[in-house]
A and B are shown apart, each in its own frame.
Chain A
Amino acid sequence: EAGVTQFPSHSVIEKGQTVTLRCDPISGHDNLYWYRRVMGKEIKFLLHFVKESKQDESGMPNNRFLAERTGGTYSTLKVQPAELEDSGVYFCASSQVWNEQYFGPGTRLTVT
């Protein structure tokens, strides 16, 4: 079966611009998660969807970040406007029930 996919693999944007990251989970996985690793620090949880509903968005850093999962399939994470400190790698993961999470390859975001 296909794994978690993310698009784009790398994005370079200028400060103040908008970027939208996309994640396609493993088919049949109701749970979808976003994480990020910035500035070589630890990987941090951002939010969790169960189908199309936000179960937990306690890790979202501020209101410049907006995540959606229309129809309970793929998800998007929009950053608007992007700031320098948003640079890092954004990971998406999916799981069936409360067990192993399968991670995508990540999107490397560079804000200049």
Chain B
Amino acid sequence: GIQVEQSPPDLILQEGANSTLRCNFSDSVNNLQWFHQNPWGQLINLFYIPSGTKQNGRLSATTVATERYSLLYISSSQTTDSGVYFCAVGYQKVTFGTGTKLQVIP
């Protein structure tokens, strides 16, 4: 099956800093989503981005499907951004990445 790797696995940021999270996938995909799992365990949809670039406030994402990667940008990070970020690919039986655990400290 398709492999989805995320980097870095862990990230600690000072509040206000910017960061880039990466998602690499082993095969071509037509479907890619980014999620944030908050400290309470809830999974929040961030972006549905099979290709191109989207922005939502301080977050933006870019997927280059031909090169099999996607990037999630977080600017001016806040403590509420802490949690685990997942990318997920595929139709129906979605495959999740390994996750990036982000901690934003005041």
Q: Are B31 and A59 in contact (CB under 8 A)?
A: no
Q: Are B98 and A45 in contact (CB under 8 A)?
A: no
Q: Are A44 and B96 in contact (CB under 8 A)?
A: yes
Q: Which B residues are in CB contact (< 8 Å) with A58? A: 93
The number of inter-chain residue pairs (CB within 8 angstroms) is 53
Q: A91-B43, A103-B43, A106-B41 are in contact. Are A42 and B99 (CB under 8 A)?
A: yes
Q: Are B35 and A100 in contact (CB under 8 A)?
A: no
Which residues of B (32-49) have their CB < 8 Å from a CB of A? 33, 35, 37, 41-45, 48
- Give the number of residues in B that approach A within 8 Å (Cβ atoms): 21
B97 located at the interface, meaning its Cβ lies under 8 Å from any Cβ of chain A in the complex: yes
Size bracket of the A interface: 20 to 34
B92 located at the interface, meaning its Cβ lies under 8 Å from any Cβ of chain A in the complex: yes
Give residues in B with beta carbon < 8 Å to A: 31, 33, 35, 37, 41-45, 48, 86, 88, 91-99
